[in-house]
Amino acid sequence: MAENEKTFKEQFIDPVAGFGVTFRTMFKKVVTEQYPFEKLPTAPRFHGRHQLNRWPDGLEKCVGCELCAWACPADAIYVEGASNTDLPDGSGRFSPGERYGRVYQINYLRCILCGLCIEACPTRALTMTNEYELADDNRADLIYEKSDLLAPLLPGMEQPPHPMRLGDDEGAYYRGQYAAPAPGSNLAAGLATGEQA
Amino acid sequence: MTTTPDKTEVDLVTLTIDGVEVSVPAGTLVIRAAEQIGVQVPRFCDHPLLEPVGACRQCLVDVPDAGNGRGFPKPQASCTLPVAPGMVVSTQATSPVADKAQQGVMEFLLVNHPLDCPVCDKGGECPLQNQAMSNGRGESRFATSGSGGVKRTFPKPINLSPQVLLDRERCIVCQRCTRFADEIAGDPFIALVERGAQQQIGIAEDAPFLSYFSGNTIQICPVGALTSESYRFRSRPFDLVSTPSVAEHDACGSAIRVDHRRGKVMRRLAGDDPEVNEEWLTDKDRFAFTYASLEDRLTHPMVRDRVEDGGDGSLRPASWPEAFAVAARGLHAAGGVGVLTGGRLTAEDAYAYAKFARVSLGTHDIDFRARPHSAEEAEFLAAHVALTGPWDGGVTYADLESARTVVLVGLEPEDEAGAIFLRLRKSVRHGGTRVLALAPYTTRGLRKMHGTLVPTVPGQEPAVIADLLGRADHGIDAGAVVLVGERLAAVPGAFSAVADLVAKTGARLAWVPRRAGDRGAVEAGCLPTLLPGGRPVADAAARVDVATSWGVGSLPEGPGRDADAIVAALAAGELGGLVVAGVEPDDTTDPAATRAAIEAASFVVALGLRDTEVTRAADVVFPVAAAVEKAGTFLTWEGRPRPFEAVLPSPTSLPDLRVLAGISEELAALGQGAPLGFRTVADVRAEMSQLGPWDGARPTMTPVQPAASTEGQDGLALSTWKLMIDGGSMQDGDKHLAATARPAVARVNPATYAALGLVEGAAVTVTGDRGSVTMPVEVVDDMTDGTVWVPASSTGAGVFAGLASPGTRVTVKGAGA
């Protein structure tokens, strides 16, 4: 038999075997996502845009300690703290305790969404949402300010500045010793959903 | 620790530490002997400048042989254990016993420590944090014991003073702060209170920690228990860029460390300079730095659109070249020009003013003294102060410690020169020095120095100084040091009497000004009678020397006008122009006359840091660099140069010398004078060292007769000086520091008080020829008769502007009666 003589399999089956994959796939579920026309949920712990959380009464959790800025490997976070003051009209208090974050910026041109800032935060003020659509047509708008990052005011929350509503001192907040609001009240709704992981 | 040079013979003791033989002076503590062989024993309470106390127990070492053949059965605290011949010590480096003991102590110290390092100001520079890592156990056995792992907490923080805060749960009760307050500052307002686990640092309810040196406790606290209002939570050690520098508030030249972040100074710490301030700093030097970053800081040159030139008479921003040109044109046209520099300049800037006055303006009308002064003082400075320094036997800090007697004349060190006060107090505590003060009453500072008061009615200083000669009990001889303050200039004949005393007893003499730049200005020639390098204007050879060095034809014959004469000449129209730097009219001999002179001058060039009444009245205003923004040199009261580099170079402000160089170049273009020939601090330093000091004869002093006694006249003699923390403009911007100021009170003796017939607690009104002030009154038992003391700058405009001219008498009566 000549060396270049092909077997039956080589001659007839192999050339069409590849189409078998195509044929099989025609009967499988489609994995293509029709983004942006159709948006699918991410994994629950996906690292998306940051959020600055609030206590159930609306006070900010951030104390301006800058640990997030120090943890950040991309140098994307800028924080300036300032002191809360207890003024008679309540206009000097943004968080329980001594300090609050007066300026809070995250530069999403630098951020690599690694989540080290989340681990560094001692008050769980900074967490990440699942929002991943971080794009814009200019650089300035990608530096998110505190107003862009703060969690929305949920029912029962009050826009700071205002005095501490849930306890006499910050210890009550940190230990969770504030009186549980009545079920069904606006505050309860806030407690349940005020913080997203 | 000290720099006393004449102790070379010391007994050495040889001992063995970790198997290494080491010889150290007798009396050395084991913890320091261990440092000699490179073993760092962990410690908290131990501080080289404080007495040993053995409070924290962290420095335990094993001592198998105490030098007598027997060892200690238990580990010993090495910070309280002096060395002994033949002693054998095993530290944690070689002894498992010592290592285990130290780990056990650390475990105890951390029982209630909150471990809030991530949010603690000390985290990153914390001895507790570091040594817990190096000499502690990884796990605590207390976390799950009976307390359930709950640590003792306190409400936080509490104010020890308006400036100093205490977080009690962080405190490990090492007592560094209380020992500092008691031993070094002499203000024992903080102490241990409560017992056992509740033991904590506290203050009496009615007595906050009001000390001029309280900031040092924050710096030496080995944990984050003490923090300052001005720095708390502002940044962390690893954020900061540290630059060594020199304090600009007094003539002590204290070494400091300036920490800045994001272009702003965050805090200042004491530098470690054993020859000057050791490791201590006054609160003013530590906290008063915000003045340079206030809203009213000048940021650009300004030029007045003069009405006669068709403008509206207001200041408008101008470019640097334009401002240089306008200033030069104005000075060229103004006729005679005087120069008032103020006492805050670096030596390089002072030299630039001195050269600018002589070369560009062709005058000796220059004076740095923005305060009461006299021709006698100028002669005294030329004869006894200029060109003295540590290199030729001048009085130094170390000499204050070794002198048998220190006489303070017209000087209150606690208020006016904090580093001198601490050094004297240290010496007195170790039994070395007697302090003798010529003052109207025993001040708190003098009491803390256990000093002897030589009661002196203000104005009678010359007679009292002369009397000292005959008093063997005061012990003024060749081993004594006389420190004279600048306030003495207001008393005619006082400097002459001091010079006479020094000449007759052989005692050594030093002049202690208040401001950082005063001494440098003397050396740099900012006086009508002195050229740079201590050259007397009156000496033709000195003038030729300087003129040759500067490459100008000749210098005018002198002497020029002093500050008061410049003011008078401006008012009289003899001078037309004025170049003025950091001068506060309220400090001058006659504030109203100074203001009128600035008003009367046809052309005023002001170089300033901030928007002041002087810059508002000027025709051209130049912003200049603050001390943190430029390199420079301050001279201490000893004459010791203290060079420093720029901390925060700022492109918007130039040092004075660059501004003057710019004006001089424009003046030269107009045909007046020559350019100064330098533009940078480095250029000036080179030129100053090239010019060098005067090697000719030192001018002598013509004795001045004291003024006739005013005793028996109506009213009371007025004694006054500036408190350390008062209304000075360089303390602006830190309200916490201002809150630590001592209250403004008038002080009288019981007889005067009784004569007033006041109801209890009533205030008094002191009235002089320039106005009156009302303040609470305090009775001082040993106040000289017929004398009242008021703080010079703690109320309103200050004494010279609002109360009385120097050397006049005042009346006191009950207020609001």
Sign (positive or negative) of CA dihedral B21, B25, B31, B36? negative
Of A96, A92, A93, A86, nearest to A63 by C-alpha is A96
Unique residue bearing structure tokens 């029709």: A34
Query: Using an 8 Å Cβ cutoff, are B174 and B220 in contact?
Result: no
**Any A CB within 8 A of B817 CB:** no
Contacts with B, A 111-130, CB within 8 Å: 120, 122
Q: Report the alpha-carbon distance of residue B720 to residue B746 in Å, rounded.
A: 10
**Any B CB within 8 A of A99 CB:** yes
Question: What residues in B contact A66, CB-CB < 8 Å?
Answer: 235-236, 239
Q: Which of B118, B155, B233 sits opposite A81 (nearest CB)?
A: B233
Q: How far is A44 from chain B (nearest CA, A)?
A: 29
**Any A CB within 8 A of B236 CB:** yes
pLDDT at B709: 74
**Any B CB within 8 A of A102 CB:** no
**Any A CB within 8 A of B100 CB:** no
DSSP A9: I
Q: What is the Cα Rg of chain B in Å?
A: 29
Contacts with A, B 760-789, CB within 8 Å: none
CATH, domain range A47-165? 3.30.70.3270
DSSP B654: B
DSSP B806: T
Q: Which of B118, B155, B234 sits opposite A67 (nearest CB)?
A: B118
Query: What backbone phi and psi angles, to 5 degrees, belong to B809?
Result: -105, 155
Residues in contact with B705: Cβ distance below 8 Å, sequence separation at least 6, in sequence order: B492, B493, B496
Q: For an interface test with A, which of B233, B262, B264 has the most A Cβ atoms less than 10 Å from its Cβ?
A: B233
**Any A CB within 8 A of B119 CB:** yes
**Any A CB within 8 A of B234 CB:** yes
Question: What residues in B contact A63, CB-CB < 8 Å?
Answer: 119
Tokens found for residue B10: 């010391």
Beta strands in B177-235 (DSSP E): 190-193, 200-203, 226-228
**Any A CB within 8 A of B671 CB:** no
DSSP labels, B335-390: SSEEEE--S---HHHHHHHHHIIIIIS----EE---SS--HHHHHHIIIIITT--G
Query: Using an 8 Å Cβ cutoff, are B161 and B228 in contact?
Result: no
**Any B CB within 8 A of A70 CB:** yes
Query: Using an 8 Å Cβ cutoff, are B804 and B772 in contact?
Result: no
DSSP labels, B580-643: E-S--GGGSS-HHHHHHHHHH-SEEEEEESB--HHHHH-SEEEEB--GGGS-EEEE-TT--EEE
Q: Report the alpha-carbon distance of residue B549 to residue B286 in Å, rounded.
A: 40
CB pair distance less than 8 Å for B233 and A65? yes
CB pair distance less than 8 Å for B233 and A169? no
Taking 50 as the pLDDT cut, the residues of chain B under it are 1-5, 817
Query: Using an 8 Å Cβ cutoff, are B769 and B799 in contact?
Result: no
Q: Report the alpha-carbon distance of residue B660 to residue B233 in Å, rounded.
A: 41
Residues in contact with B799: Cβ distance below 8 Å, sequence separation at least 6, in sequence order: B718, B720, B773, B790, B791, B792, B793
**Any B CB within 8 A of A81 CB:** yes
CA-to-CA dists, residue B346 to B285, B343, B607, B643, B730, angstroms: 16, 9, 14, 9, 16
Domain residue limits, chain A: 47-165
Encoded amino acid at B533, one letter: G
DSSP labels, B692-706: ----SPPPP----PP
pLDDT at A176: 85
How many residues belong to chain A?
197
Residues in contact with B509: Cβ distance below 8 Å, sequence separation at least 6, in sequence order: B384, B395, B481, B482, B484, B498, B499, B502
Interface contacts A/B by beta carbons within 8 Å: 23
**Any B CB within 8 A of A177 CB:** no
For residue B462, say if its preceding peptide bond is cis, omega within 30 degrees of 0.
no
Unique residue bearing structure tokens 């122009």: B577
Of B801, B59, B1, nearest to B397 by C-alpha is B1
Question: What residues in A contact B118, CB-CB < 8 Å?
Answer: 65, 67, 120, 122
Q: How far is B243 from chain A (nearest CA, A)?
A: 22
pLDDT at A182: 45
ipTM above 0.85, yes or no: no
- Convert the pLDDT of each residue in A92-151 to its tens digit: 999 998 899 999 999 999 999 999 999 999 999 999 999 999 999 999 999 999 999 999
Q: Which of B119, B232, B235 sits opposite A122 (nearest CB)?
A: B119
Encoded amino acid at B123, one letter: G
Tokens found for residue B496: 């002459």
Question: What residues in A contact B235, CB-CB < 8 Å?
Answer: 66
Unique residue bearing structure tokens 């976390």: B143
CB pair distance less than 8 Å for B119 and A98? no
Query: Using an 8 Å Cβ cutoff, are B190 and B203 in contact?
Result: yes
Query: Using an 8 Å Cβ cutoff, are B372 and B364 in contact?
Result: no
**Structural domains for chain B:** 10-107 (3.10.20.740), 117-124+143-238 (3.30.70.20), 326-370+517-689 (3.40.50.740), 374-512 (3.40.228.10), 714-812 (2.40.40.20)
CB pair distance less than 8 Å for B233 and A99? yes
Q: Which of A70, A98, A169 sits opposite B233 (nearest CB)?
A: A98
